[in-house]
C-alpha cells in the first residue's frame, strides 16, 4: 500500500518526499538500507583487490578515449605528422595514428601513458592480491569459485595487455607478435591451422591488428567486466574473510559499515590510485613508440622486452635448451613448444587447481571465514615462496641480455645462471621459508607460555637478574589465546582422519596449537611477571600500542574493546 506524505514520521523535505515516491514505485529502501549497512572488515591487504578494481576503471576510461583516435589498420601510409625524424617514412596507419595520439591529439600522450601505467598497475595489483589470498588461505571453502574466477581474470589480463601492446605496430610490438606467431606455429598438429586462423594467412598479414583491436576493446574487456562483476557479487554474498582477533569468529564480520566509513575510505583510495596513475602518465615516459620506429620484420633492436607480466615467458624461452624433437613420419615438435605452451599450461593448471589440491591433501573440507597467518601453515607458505622464486628467475631471465650488458657478464653465462637458478633457487626458498615459519611459530609459542618480553630487567634479592614478562589476557571460548594461532579451530573431521592423511596434515601444519592445558598452565609459568596484564596481542603477535585493545593491529576507536565498539554483522 502506498504511504502518504501526511503519515506520522513522513518526510517533510522535498528530497525526502521524492525519495518516498521513488520507493513507493521501486521498493528499494529495504535492500538499499541492508546494503549500506553491510560491514566490511578492515585490513590494509584488503585494499589490493580494490586497487585492481580502480586501475581497471582507469583502463576503461582512458582506453575509450584512445579508441576515438587510434586506427587499427595495416594499410601503408607516408607519415607527415609533427614528429620530424619520421616524416616521409612508410608505416602502417596503426603506427601513424599512435604517433598522432602522442604528438598531435590534445592530451593524447597523457592518456596513452596513463593507459599504459594503469595496465602495469592493474596486473601488479592482481598478482599481489592473489598472493594475499594464497598466503592467508582466503581461497579455502567456500571461496574456491572466486579463486577460479580470479585466475581466469589474471590470464585474460595477460592476453589483454599483450593485445594492447601489439596494436601500435611499432618495432617492439611487431617483435612481440613475431614471437606469438612462432609460438602458435610450434603447437603440434594444430599449429599451422591455428596460425592461419589467427593471422588470416602468413605472418604478419593485413588482418592481425584489426583482430587484436576487436579483442582488446570489446571481447576481452566485456568478459573481464562480467567476471569482475561476478567476483564482486560472490564476495558480497559470501562476505569478506577477516583476520582473527578479539570477538571475531567464523560466524560474524567486524569492521566498518559500507556507508559512510567504508565508502569514504574506498573513494579516498580510488582518488589516490587515479592521482598516482595521472602523475605517472604525466611525468614518467613509457613506451615512447616514436623512438622504436615502425615495424620491420628484418629488424630487432637490442633490449627488446615485453611488459613485465609477459616477461616470464620470454625468460622461459631464453632458458629452455634447443631440444627439437623429431618424430617418425617427418613430424617435429619445436623447442619453443615446451617453454611457451607446456610450461604456462602447467603453471596455470596448478594455480587453478591449488585450492582443490590442498583440500584433498589436508582433508580440510570445512568452511573458513577467519584467515590464517602465513607462518601457521608453513608448507603452503613455503610452496608459495618456491613458486615466487621460480617465477622471479624466469622474470629476470627475460631481461638477461640487459643484465649481461649492464654488468658486463657474458650472455651465455647469464643463460646458464638462469638454468641452474631455476633448478636450485626454488628448493632453497622452500627450506628457508619453512625454517623461518617454524622459528616464528616457536616464538609465538614462547610468548604464549611465558608472556611478552618487556625489556624491564629486575634484580632479585639474591642477586639474580631476570626480565619481567607481561602476562597475556584470557583465552576465548574457542580455546584460542590472544595470539592469532591460525584463526579457525581445526575442524573435528580433520582430527579424526588417520594414516597418510594425518601425516600430510601434520606436514602442512607441523607445530600444533597449544593445548587447553598448556594454555591454562601459561599463567603459572609466568610467576615472575609483575607488569599489568596485556589485554590483547595484535595479529602480528605484538602487543597493541599503549596496552589498549586493538583491531587488526591498531588501537580500536576510543580505546573500547572491538566487540562493543565496531559494527558487526552475522554471517548467513
Ligand atoms: C585490462 C584492461 C586493459 C589493459 C591491460 C590494456 C593494456 C594496453 C596496453 C599495454 C596498450 C599499449 C599502450 C601504448 O601504446 O603504450 C594498450 C593500447 C590501447 N588500448 Fe588498452 N588495455 C586495457 C583495456 C582497454 C580498453 C577497455 C580499451 C577501450 C575501450 C582499450 C583501448 C586501447 C587502445 C585504443 C589502445 C591503442 C592506443 C595506443 O597504443 O596508444 N584498452 N592497452
Ligand atoms: C581483475 C582482477 C581482480 C579484481 C578487480 C579483484 C577484486 C577483488 C576485490 C575488490 C576483493 C575484495 C577486497 C580484497 O580482498 O582485496 C576481492 C576478493 C577476492 N579475490 Fe579478487 N580480484 C581480482 C583478481 C583476483 C585473483 C587473480 C584472485 C585469485 C586467483 C582473486 C581471488 C579473490 C578471492 C578468493 C577473494 C575473497 C577474499 C576474501 O574474502 O578474503 N581475485 N577481489
**Same domain membership, residue 525 and residue 486:** yes
**Same domain membership, residue 95 and residue 47:** yes
Cα separations (Å) of 96 from 74, 117, 144, 463, 570? 10, 22, 46, 85, 58
What atom of ligand 1 comes closest to residue 307's alpha carbon?
10
Predicted confidence at residue 508, as pLDDT, reads 63
Across 29-38, 205-214, 486-495, which has the greatest mean pLDDT?
Answer: 205-214
3-state helix, strand, coil in the chain (%, to 5): 60, 10, 35
**ipTM score of complex:** 0.95
Q: Which residue, by CA, sits nearest to atom 9 of ligand 1?
A: 164
Residue 424 within a domain: no
What atom of ligand 2 comes closest to residue 239's alpha carbon?
40
Residue 322 within a domain: yes
Whether 77 has a pLDDT exceeding 60, the answer reads: yes
Q: Which residue, by CA, sits nearest to atom 26 of ligand 1?
A: 63
Q: Which residue, by CA, sits nearest to atom 32 of ligand 1?
A: 63
* 4: confidence class by pLDDT, cuts 50, 70, 90: low
Distance (Å) from CA 124 to ligand 2 centroid: 13
Question: Which of 390, 411, 415 lies closest to 401 in space, CA to CA?
Answer: 411
In tens, the pLDDT along 524-544 reads 443 333 333 333 333 333 333
**Same domain membership, residue 236 and residue 195:** yes
Cα separations (Å) of 302 from 99, 180, 339, 402? 22, 18, 22, 8
CATH number, domain at 335? 1.20.810.10
Predicted confidence at residue 164, as pLDDT, reads 97
Q: Which residue, by CA, sits nearest to atom 1 of ligand 2?
A: 153
Give the least confident one: 157-161, 172-176, 466-470. 466-470
User: Do 233 and 544 meet the contact criterion of CB atoms below 8 Å apart?
Assistant: no
**Same domain membership, residue 49 and residue 186:** yes
**Same domain membership, residue 59 and residue 30:** no
**Same domain membership, residue 62 and residue 30:** no
Q: Which residue, by CA, sits nearest to atom 5 of ligand 2?
A: 53
Pocket of ligand 1 (CB under 6 A): 56, 59-60, 63-64, 66-67, 70, 98, 101, 112, 115-116, 119, 122, 157, 160-161, 164-165, 167-168, 216-217, 221, 224, 287
Q: Which residue, by CA, sits nearest to atom 31 of ligand 1?
A: 63
Q: How many CB atoms lie within 10 A of CB 247?
A: 16
Residue 76 within a domain: yes
* Entry pTM: 0.86
Whether 237 has a pLDDT exceeding 90, the answer reads: yes
Structurally, the chain folds into a number of domains equal to 3
Of 332, 358, 384, the residue at which a domain comes to its end is: 358
Q: Report residue 327 as a C-alpha cell.
A: 618424430
**Same domain membership, residue 345 and residue 469:** no
Residue 393 within a domain: no
Cα atoms found within 13 Å of the Cα of residue 472, Cβ hemisphere only:
28
Read off the pLDDT of each residue in 167-191 and give the average, rounded to a whole number. Answer: 94
Across 147-156, 520-529, 546-555, which has the greatest mean pLDDT?
Answer: 147-156
Cα separations (Å) of 64 from 59, 60, 69, 112? 8, 6, 10, 11
Residue 56 within a domain: yes
Give the least confident one: 160-174, 321-335, 492-506. 492-506
User: Do 167 and 212 meet the contact criterion of CB atoms below 8 Å apart?
Assistant: yes
Name the residue of 64, 107, 174, 216 to mutate for ligand 1: max ligand atoms within 8 A of Cβ: 216
Distance (Å) from CA 436 to ligand 1 centroid: 42
Residue 397 within a domain: no
User: Do 254 and 564 meet the contact criterion of CB atoms below 8 Å apart?
Assistant: no
Mean pLDDT of the chain: 86
**Same domain membership, residue 469 and residue 348:** no
Three-class SS of residue 572?
A: coil
Distance (Å) from CA 167 to ligand 1 centroid: 8
What atom of ligand 1 comes closest to residue 120's alpha carbon?
5
Distance (Å) from CA 162 to ligand 1 centroid: 9
Distance (Å) from CA 236 to ligand 2 centroid: 11
Whether 408 has a pLDDT exceeding 70, the answer reads: yes
Q: Which residue, by CA, sits nearest to atom 13 of ligand 1?
A: 116
Q: Which residue range is the domain that position 82 belongs to?
A: 43-243+256-358
Q: How many CB atoms lie within 10 A of CB 184?
A: 22
Name the residue of 51, 56, 58, 66 to mutate for ligand 1: max ligand atoms within 8 A of Cβ: 66
**Same domain membership, residue 147 and residue 27:** no
**Same domain membership, residue 12 and residue 80:** no
**DSSP assignments along 477-497, one per residue:** TTS--SS--SSSPPPHHHHH-
Helix runs in 136-170, H state only: 144-166
Predicted confidence at residue 46, as pLDDT, reads 96
Residue 59 within a domain: yes
**Same domain membership, residue 51 and residue 27:** no
**Ligand located closest to 145 CA:** 2
**Ligand located closest to 354 CA:** 2
Residue 470, beta-bridge partner list:
452
**Same domain membership, residue 266 and residue 315:** yes
User: Do 469 and 450 meet the contact criterion of CB atoms below 8 Å apart?
Assistant: yes
What atom of ligand 2 comes closest to residue 52's alpha carbon?
5
* Helix (H) / strand (E) containing 332: strand 331-333
Distance (Å) from CA 57 to ligand 2 centroid: 15
Pocket of ligand 2 (CB under 6 A): 46, 48-50, 52-53, 56, 126, 129-130, 133, 138-139, 143, 146-147, 150-151, 153-154, 228, 231, 235, 240-241
User: How far from the centroid of its chain's Cα atoms is residue 347's Cα?
Assistant: 16
In tens, the pLDDT along 436-491 reads 999 999 999 988 888 888 889 999 999 999 888 887 766 554 444 444 444 443 33
Distance (Å) from CA 260 to ligand 2 centroid: 22
**Ligand located closest to 350 CA:** 2
Cα separations (Å) of 212 from 4, 191, 217, 219, 504? 57, 19, 9, 10, 47
Q: Which residue, by CA, sits nearest to atom 33 of ligand 1?
A: 63
Residue 526 within a domain: yes
In tens, the pLDDT along 271-314 reads 999 999 999 999 999 999 999 999 988 888 777 889 999 999 99
Distance CA 335, CA 339 (A): 8
Amino acid at each position: 500500500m502506498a504511504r502518504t506524505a501526511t503519515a506520522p514520521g513522513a518526510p517533510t523535505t522535498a528530497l525526502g518526499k521524492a525519495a518516498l515516491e521513488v520507493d513507493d514505485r521501486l521498493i528499494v529502501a529495504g535492500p538499499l538500507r541492508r546494503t549500506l549497512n553491510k560491514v566490511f572488515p578492515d585490513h590494509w591487504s584488503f585494499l589490493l583487490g580494490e586497487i585492481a578494481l580502480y586501475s581497471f576503471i582507469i583502463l576503461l576510461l582512458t582506453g575509450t578515449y584512445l579508441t576515438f583516435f587510434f586506427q587499427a589498420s595495416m594499410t601503408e601510409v607516408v607519415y607527415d605528422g609533427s614528429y620530424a625524424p619520421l616524416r616521409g617514412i612508410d608505416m602502417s596507419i596503426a603506427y601513424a595514428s599512435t604517433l598522432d595520439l602522442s604528438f598531435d591529439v590534445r592530451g593524447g600522450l597523457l592518456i596513452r601513458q596513463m593507459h599504459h601505467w594503469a595496465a602495469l598497475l592493474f596486473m601488479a595489483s592482481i598478482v599481489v592480491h592473489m598472493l594475499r589470498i594464497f598466503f592467508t588461505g582466503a581461497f579455502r571453502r567456500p571461496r574456491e569459485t572466486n579463486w577460479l574466477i580470479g585466475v581466469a581474470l589474471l590470464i585474460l589480463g595477460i592476453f589483454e595487455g599483450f593485445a594492447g601492446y601489439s596494436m601500435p605496430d611499432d618495432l617492439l610490438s611487431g617483435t612481440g607478435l613475431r614471437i606469438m606467431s612462432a609460438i602458435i606455429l610450434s603447437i603440434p598438429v594444430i599449429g599451422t591451422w591455428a596460425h592461419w586462423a589467427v593471422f588470416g594467412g602468413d605472418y604478419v598479414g593485413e588482418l592481425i591488428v584489426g583482430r587484436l583491436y576487436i579483442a582488446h576493446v570489446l571481447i576481452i574487456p566485456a568478459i573481464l567486466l562480467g567476471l569482475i562483476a561476478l567476483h564482486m557479487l560472490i564476495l558480497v554474498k559470501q562476505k569478506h574473510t577477516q583476520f582473527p582477533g578479539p570477538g571475531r569468529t567464523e560466524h560474524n564480520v567486524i569492521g566498518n559499515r559500507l556507508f559512510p566509513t567504508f565508502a569514504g575510505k574506498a573513494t579516498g583510495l580510488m582518488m589516490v590510485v587515479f592521482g598516482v596513475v595521472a602523475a605517472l602518465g604525466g611525468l614518467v615516459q613509457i613506451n615512447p613508440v616514436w623512438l622504436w620506429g615502425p615495424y620491420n620484420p628484418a629488424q630487432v633492436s637490442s633490449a627488446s622486452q615485453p611488459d613485465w607480466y609477459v616477461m616470464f615467458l620470454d625468460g622461459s624461452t631464453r632458458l629452455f635448451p634447443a631440444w627439437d624433437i623429431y618424430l617418425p613420419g617427418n613430424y617435429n615438435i619445436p623447442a619453443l613448444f615446451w617453454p611457451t605452451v607446456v610450461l604456462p599450461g602447467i603453471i596455470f593448471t596448478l594455480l587453478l587447481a591449488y585450492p582443490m589440491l590442498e583440500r584433498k591433501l589436508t582433508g580440510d573440507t570445512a568452511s573458513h571465514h577467519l584467515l590464517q597467518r602465513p607462518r601457521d601453515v608453513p608448507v603452503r607458505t613455503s610452496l608459495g615462496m618456491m613458486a615466487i622464486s621460480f617465477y622471479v628467475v624466469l622474470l629476470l631471465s627475460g631481461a638477461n641480455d640487459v643484465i649481461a650488458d649492464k654488468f658486463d657478464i657474458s650472455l651465455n653465462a647469464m643463460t646458464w645462471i638462469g638454468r641452474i637458478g631455476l633448478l636450485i633457487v626454488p628448493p632453497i626458498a622452500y627450506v628457508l621459508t619453512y625454517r623461518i615459519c617454524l622459528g616464528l611459530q616457536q616464538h609465538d609459542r614462547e610468548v604464549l607460555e611465558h608472556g611478552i618480553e618487556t625489556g624491564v630487567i629486575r634484580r632479585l634479592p639474591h642477586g639474580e637478574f631476570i626480565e619481567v614478562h607481561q602476562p597475556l589476557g584470557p583465552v576465548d571460548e574457542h580455546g584460542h589465546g590472544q595470539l592469532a594461532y591460525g584463526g579457525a579451530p581445526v575442524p573435528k573431521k580433520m582430527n579424526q582422519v588417520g594414516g597418510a592423511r594425518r601425516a600430510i596434515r601434520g606436514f602442512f601444519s607441523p607445530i600444533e596449537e597449544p593445548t587447553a592445558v598448556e594454555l591454562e598452565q601459561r599463567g603459572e609459568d609466568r610467576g615472575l611477571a609483575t607488569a599489568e596484564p596485556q589485554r590483547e596481542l595484535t595479529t602480528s603477535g605484538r602487543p597493541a600500542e599503549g596496552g589498549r585493545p586493538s583491531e587488526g593491529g591498531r588501537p580500536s576507536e576510543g580505546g573500547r574493546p572491538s566487540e562493543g565498539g565496531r559494527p558487526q554483522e552475522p554471517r548467513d
